């Protein structure tokens, strides 16, 4: 059975305020349906962004306006807070499907701390984004439970995936995460010498060793798919760069060559994938409408809420 992307990912965030601190800055940056967003959190998120590689790139591209940046950060937080409000109102728990996510974020933070800094986020921001993605998907399924793609749309999607369906592969592998190419490169010689992959990876300094199923349709970096696609059973990849400071070593435990599949054989998979995609599009439109009608206040220190445009001015 082919791996498919699970749902869409809907990114959001929270802040506002009425009271002022002794330095003149309000203690609350925004209030979203009664949810207060501390200005301290807005300023912290802004500072992280400005000190990142992404922030530096935006500055060099002419996007260095401080007010524009802080309003962008605040809008991100407002949307996140409103998503939480909708989830509470409709009885959608934020914890649904969260098993293992905290551990995954902690492991990534340990393996590639520079990656977070370069991307302009903290480990907690990634955890919040993952929660927002799960919540938005659950809300979309509750608000739009019945979404049926047309046959025309299904055939169009089949044509777009034709290369993957006309003879493919499935790999069951172990993957080890490292903070350098040198450490990742130390695994293959030890495995070739007869040592178990997990033992070799741990000895080389792996931050984490886990299992993964991969097909050409898996939502993974091209470098990973290209590397795995060339490996045979029992082989270990060369070091693969997966983030700014993160590297991986992959060991193929099982490999299955898959025969070509017809449209009817993958109809159920296509229907599921397209329904998820269309449901998310419907949800985004619905969310924007709800946001325009929401009770949102923004501290004058940061600007004003423009409900018609769903933004901070």
- What is the DSSP annotation of 155-224? HHHHHHTHHHHSSEEEEEEEEEEESSHHHHHTHHHHHHTT--HHHHHHHTT-SEEEEEEE-TTSSS-HHH
Residue 114 clears pLDDT 70, i.e. is over it: no
Beta strands 247-258 and 168-178 are antiparallel
Do 305 and 252 reside in the same domain of the chain?
no
At residue 116, the pLDDT reads: 67
In a domain, 12, yes or no: no
Cβ-proximal residues to 36 (8 Å cutoff; 6+ apart), any chain: 16, 17, 28, 30
Do 102 and 245 reside in the same domain of the chain?
no
Do 281 and 246 reside in the same domain of the chain?
no
pLDDT above 70: percentage of residues in the chain: 80
In a domain, 163, yes or no: no
Do 297 and 250 reside in the same domain of the chain?
no
Do 126 and 191 reside in the same domain of the chain?
no
Do 134 and 221 reside in the same domain of the chain?
no
Residue 11 clears pLDDT 50, i.e. is over it: no
Q: Which of 258, 283, 303 represents a domain boundary (last residue)?
A: 258
Count of CB atoms situated within 10 Å of the CB of 67: 10
Give residue 119's domain range. Answer: 28-142+274-312
- pLDDT tens figures, 205-259: 998 899 999 998 888 888 899 999 999 999 999 999 988 778 999 999 999 998 9
In a domain, 215, yes or no: yes
* pLDDT band for position 113 (cuts 50, 70, 90): low
The H-or-E segment that residue 136 falls in is helix 123-143
In a domain, 9, yes or no: no
At residue 105, the pLDDT reads: 67
At residue 213, the pLDDT reads: 93
Residue 4 clears pLDDT 90, i.e. is over it: no
Residue 91, sorted as left (phi over 0), alpha (psi -120 to 50) or beta, turns out to be left
Residue 19 clears pLDDT 50, i.e. is over it: no
Residue 96 clears pLDDT 70, i.e. is over it: no
The H-or-E segment that residue 248 falls in is strand 247-258
Q: Which of 258, 284, 301 represents a domain boundary (last residue)?
A: 258
- pLDDT tens figures, 154-212: 999 999 988 888 888 999 999 999 989 999 999 999 999 999 999 999 999 998 899 99
In a domain, 245, yes or no: yes
Do 254 and 291 reside in the same domain of the chain?
no
Q: Which tops the pLDDT comparison, 37 or 216?
A: 37
Most confident of 64-73, 88-97, 99-108, 247-256: 247-256
Do 193 and 253 reside in the same domain of the chain?
yes
In a domain, 6, yes or no: no
Residue 274 clears pLDDT 70, i.e. is over it: yes
Do 32 and 138 reside in the same domain of the chain?
yes
In a domain, 3, yes or no: no
* Mean pLDDT for the chain overall: 85
Q: Which tops the pLDDT comparison, 2 or 57?
A: 57
Count up the domains in the chain and report the number: 2
Residue 70 clears pLDDT 70, i.e. is over it: yes
In a domain, 174, yes or no: yes
Residue 54 clears pLDDT 70, i.e. is over it: no
Do 35 and 130 reside in the same domain of the chain?
yes
At residue 51, the pLDDT reads: 77
At residue 244, the pLDDT reads: 75
Do 136 and 224 reside in the same domain of the chain?
no
190: domain CATH number?
3.10.50.40
Do 138 and 172 reside in the same domain of the chain?
no
């Amino acid at each position: 059975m082919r791996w498919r992307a699970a749902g869409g990912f809907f990114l959001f965030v929270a802040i506002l305020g009425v009271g002022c601190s002794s330095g003149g800055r309000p203690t609350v940056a925004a209030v979203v349906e009664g949810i207060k967003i501390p200005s301290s959190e807005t300023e912290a998120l802004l500072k992280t962004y400005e000190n990142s590689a992404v922030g530096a790139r935006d500055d060099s591209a002419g996007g260095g306006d401080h007010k524009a940046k802080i309003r962008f950060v605040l809008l991100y937080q407002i949307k996140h807070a409103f998503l939480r409000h909708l989830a509470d109102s409709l009885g959608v728990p934020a914890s649904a499907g969260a098993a293992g996510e905290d551990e995954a974020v902690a492991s990534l933070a340990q393996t590639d701390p520079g990656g977070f800094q370069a991307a302009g986020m903290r480990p907690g921001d990634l955890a919040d984004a993952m929660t927002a993605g799960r919540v938005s998907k659950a809300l979309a399924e509750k608000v739009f439970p019945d979404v049926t793609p047309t046959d025309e749309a299904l055939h169009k999607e089949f044509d777009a995936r034709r290369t993957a369906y006309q003879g493919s592969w499935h790999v069951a592998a172990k993957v080890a995460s490292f903070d350098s190419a040198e450490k990742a490169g130390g695994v293959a010689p030890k495995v070739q010498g007869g040592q178990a992959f997990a033992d070799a990876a741990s000895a080389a300094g792996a931050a984490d060793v886990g299992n993964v199923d991969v097909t050409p349709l898996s939502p993974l970096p091209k470098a990973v798919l290209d590397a795995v696609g060339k490996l045979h059973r029992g082989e270990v990849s060369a070091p693969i760069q997966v983030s700014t400071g993160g590297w991986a070593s992959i060991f193929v435990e099982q490999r299955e060559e898959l025969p070509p599949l017809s449209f009817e054989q993958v109809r159920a998979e296509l229907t599921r994938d397209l329904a998820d995609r269309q449901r998310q599009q419907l949800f985004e439109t619905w969310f924007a409408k709800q946001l325009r009608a929401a009770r949102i206040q923004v501290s004058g220190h940061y600007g004003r809420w423009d409900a018609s445009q769903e933004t901070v001015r």
